Structure 1
Amino acid sequence: MRLVLLGPPGAGKGTQAQRLVNRHGIVQLSTGDMLRAAVAAGTPVGLKAKAVMESGGLVSDDIVIGIIAERIEAPDARNGFILDGFPRTVAQAEALDRLLAEKGLKLDAVIELVVDQQKLVGRILNRAAEAKAKGEPVRKDDDPEVFKARLDAYNRDTAVVSPYYSARGQLKQIDGMQPIDEVTRAIDGILAETA
């Protein structure tokens, strides 16, 4: 099972990805985690990424695709994977399609968690306020200004990936504002159709 989960920050992708990992024995592949692991392992692609990151630059699509190509060959990814944080652009989505085709693979589902962004901002503000009230640290991502900047970046750069997959007939949308268990059931329904 090979999946892409789309949706803005705070939509619940991480929560749903973890549930899929636990139920289906697949791995969640975060591009950030993969980059750090490749750098730490000193792989050829990791060394390229390290040089770019140390110079303060953004890692190119070619390097990210190279890291994904290496990672999906790992034994724990044989049963499948969930891509988290990738693709972020249409160019990355096209590169992912080429990579999978070269390996004789395809995506089983592209699922977008659709949310009301105004309500999402309110949800994040409430979560931050609740953490403060309990004397717990507020997650960095829950800082209202940081969250709004991440949401703006998503709307500017990543929201274009959904129409790409929609035009190819691959996109399935779920109301991400439902309770967590309802979202999980909707994802399970989509996956049952693709099995």
Structure 2
Amino acid sequence: MSMRLILLGPPGAGKGTQAARLASRLGVPAISTGDIFRANVSEGTELGQLAQKYMDAGEYVPDEVTNQMVAARLSQPDAEAGFLLDGYPRTEAQVAELDSILEANGHQLSHVVELTADTDEVVARLLNRAKEQGRADDTESVIRRRLDVYAEQTAPLVQTYADRGLLVQVDGMGEVDEVTARLTDALGVTTD
């Protein structure tokens, strides 16, 4: 099934888990800017070093760096038939850049899915993940800062995409399988 999707939601809402599940069902790549940033950090690339400074402070990596990275990724052959973006766009400027990228390739978005989640539950999830995975970027103060930045910069995109008639909201709280079922139902994706 060919779909071009964006998955929005606060950090810890389960976007990464659900993106992987949904992309697998759709047969499209799940493209996560967070994973790409972390890979660059672990490889010690110039982009990774720059991204690390922002990530450690709980801030977003600048648009110009992120836009170039996403444009390059969307031009790869596996994304031609569709994709699921997790973590992009995060700002109105990135929305405009994504619109340009898609238009240049003769494509358009199918849906924008917002996973909604309770703030305190999200903080608890991320603190637990930090313990399990040893992720230094997931301290409580950084998590709360990331949630503030999300509310300031990314949450307004929900209205932008709602105004375009593309927004689908799905409750991201509960067991992983329950959330996946809600997502596939909301998008009309048949399950195996």
TM normalised by structure 2 equals 0.76
From 162, 169, 191, the equivalent of 1:166 is 162
Cα contact 2:168–2:186 (8 A) shared by 1:
yes
Q: Structure 1 residues 37, 137: closer, same or farther in 2, change over 3 A?
A: closer
Provide the C-alpha distance between the structure 2 equivalents of 1:145 and 1:171, rounded to a whole number of angstroms: 30
Which residue does 1:26 correspond to in 2?
Answer: 28
Which residue does 2:143 correspond to in 1?
Answer: 147
Cα contact 1:35–1:64 (8 A) shared by 2:
no
From 91, 94, 103, the equivalent of 2:93 is 91
Which residue does 1:183 correspond to in 2?
Answer: 179
Please identify the structure whose Cα radius of gyration is greater: 1
Superposed CA offset, 1:118-168 (max 9, x none):
23224444x269x4xxxx564334422221121111112211111111111
Q: How does 1:1-195 map to 2 (within 5 A)?
A: 1-34=3-36, 50=47, 53=50, 60-125=62-127, 127=128, 131=131, 138-192=134-188
TM-superposed deviation, 1:187:
1.2
CA-based RMSD of the aligned residues comes to 3.2
Q: Structure 1 residues 173-182 or 59-68, which shifts more?
A: 59-68
Give the unaligned 5+ runs of structure 2: 55-59
Percent identical: 45
Provide the C-alpha distance between the structure 1 equivalents of 2:23 and 2:76, rounded to a whole number of angstroms: 16
What is the letter of the counterpart of residue 69 of structure 1?
Answer: A
Q: Structure 1 residues 14, 59: closer, same or farther in 2, change over 3 A?
A: closer
Provide the C-alpha distance between the structure 2 equivalents of 1:85 and 1:167, rounded to a whole number of angstroms: 20
Aligned residues: 178
Superposed CA offset, 1:158-182 (max 9, x none):
1111111111111110111132112
Q: Structure 1 residues 24-33 or 74-83, which shifts more?
A: 24-33
Which residue does 2:57 correspond to in 1?
Answer: none
Misfit runs of 4+, over 6 Å = 35-38, 56-59
